[in-house]
Amino acid sequence: MSKNCDESFTERLKAAERRHGLSAQEHQEQEPCVPQDTQKANQSLMRVALQVGTEMFSALLVGVAIGWELDHWLGTKAVFLIIFAILGGCAGVLSVWRLVRSMETS
Whether 78 and 99 share a structural domain: yes
Whether 41 and 57 share a structural domain: yes
Whether 2 and 46 share a structural domain: no
Q: How many domains, in total, are found in the chain?
A: 2
pTM value > 0.75? no
Whether 22 and 38 share a structural domain: no
Note the pLDDT of residue 13: 82
Whether 25 and 37 share a structural domain: no
Tens of pLDDT, residues 87-96: 999 999 999 9
Whether 23 and 64 share a structural domain: no
Q: Given pLDDT bands bounded at 50, 70 and 90, which one contains residue 4?
A: confident
**Chain Cα centroid distance, residue 38:** 13
Whether 82 and 45 share a structural domain: yes
Most confident of 15-19, 42-46, 81-85, 100-104: 81-85
Q: How far apart are CA 64 and CA 14, in angstroms?
A: 67
Tens of pLDDT, residues 14-66: 888 888 777 655 545 555 566 777 777 777 888 889 999 999 999 999 999 99
Note the pLDDT of residue 11: 85
Q: Which domain range does residue 11 map to?
A: 1-31
CA angle 16, 17, 20 (to 5 degrees): 85
Whether 45 and 19 share a structural domain: no
Q: Are 64 and 81 in contact (CB under 8 A)?
A: yes
